[in-house]
Amino acid sequence: MKFSSLRRSLFDKRDIFSIQRFTLIGTTIFLGKLVLLLIAYFFDESAYNIFNKAYYTASILILFGTFGFNFAVTRIKISPVYLFASVFANVLAALVILSLISHPFSAPFEIISVFLYSFFSCLAGIYVFRLLFSGRYIDYTKLTFAFAVFHLLIIPAVLILKMNIFFALAASGLLWLLSCYPFFKNEKNTEKNLFDLYKVGGAAFIINSAVPFALVADKYIVNNYFPVDAANAYTFAWGLTAPLFYIGNLIERIIYSSEDMNPEKMLKKSLLLLFFLILIYVSALISAVIFLPGLLPSSVDRLLLKDIFLFMVGGYSLYVLFHFPLNGYLFKFLAVGKQKRIAVIYFIFLVLLVLVIISAGAMEIKDYKFLLAAIWGVIFTLLGIKTIIIFAGNKKEKDGKWEMENG
């Protein structure tokens, strides 16, 4: 893959890596984060805390409520009625289990509002993702922008109209689902493939949840077992490193939006583009941390932060470079059988990771290098397994398009 080829792609509107598509899809990834940041500026401490509790509780319900169905509906046909019922059951089950564990809310109105927001968001998210996967990235961008606008409206609804935060959140989810309706109102599927829906969706859910779970695990450990100065420095270092994952996710979504392209050529091009983006971001950030320490907050030990960040950013840069292009390649182009095999192995590692977290408390781990090495050991092992399974088997070229032998 030559740099000149990548440069031509950026300025060719028909190419999946064109600046137009890159900008539109990239903007949608950061819109949701921007809305959450703006809400923090407008709400007082109490209201912002209430919103966070509602929003992040719903985020957990959405993760389990969706259950990989956004990928499944791109592979199988399913009646909207059965899809809606399955999502409803998933969100309800997740809410019941979460309530038994932590009791996030006590008022019935609050519980119902969070449930409805999660249910509406799951359904809208599944269908909007299908637009992206089918190459309709303009429609995807419009609906994702609508998501940001409806959530932004929560601010005047609460501050000016004095609307309850829980009601406003549920209303924003409903408005987003209604904005998606014109794109899917002519859905005619009547198939009752519930088994396939959960089988394919479950595989995608496990594959796409294993690494995020690992990335949450280390923050859980440092904030429970590390000294305060080390925990703050580690968490802030992660905050500086996390945008690498947003950049990688951008490349993955661009791959999902591709329509008719040689997948191997696409994979090489995505790796090259992601390499340059990572290089630019990491170079700028390292320069700022080393030469402009005054930009860092005074509440964090700057020397400790620098040490942790310089160690952390190298490993995660390498991981991001390969994980996201391969993940896009896997779910966009390869047979479902490969996803199932990866999911089985990932599930085993998820169980092992839970044991690692429990052991961390018993061992009182306080060395950030040891902790990062353990987390990297998990995610790079998963990445290696995924890479081997992806490229195992025979590739066949037929009618000008690449096909993978079913796993």
The two tokens of residue 200 are 């394919």
Residue stretches of the chain with pLDDT short of 50:
1, 3, 6-7, 9-17, 362, 394-407
- Which pLDDT value is given to residue 401? 37
Give the C-alpha separation, 303 to 252, whole Å.
Answer: 34
Spatial separation of the C-alpha atoms in residues 256 and 251, rounded to whole Å: 9
Q: What is the pTM of this model?
A: 0.63
pLDDT tens digits for range 269-297:
888 888 999 999 999 989 988 888 777 76
Tokens 């299908």 locate to 130
Query: What is d(CA 14, CA 49) in angstroms, rounded to the nearest whole number?
Result: 45
DSSP state letters, 294-349 = GGS-TTS-HHHHHHHHHHHHHHHHHHHHHHHHHHHHHHHHS-HHHHHHHHHHHHHH
Q: How deeply is 169 buried, as exposed, middle or buried, from its count of CB atoms within 10 A (0-12, 13-18, 19+)?
A: buried
Q: CA distances (Å), 180 to each of 81, 121, 126, 230, in order? A: 16, 11, 10, 45
pLDDT of residue 73: 83
Report the pLDDT value the prediction gives residue 213, as an integer from 0 to 100: 64
Residue 399 confidence (pLDDT): 35
H or E segment to which residue 402 belongs: strand 401-404
Q: Which pLDDT belongs to residue 169?
A: 93
CB 346 within 8 A of CB 206: yes
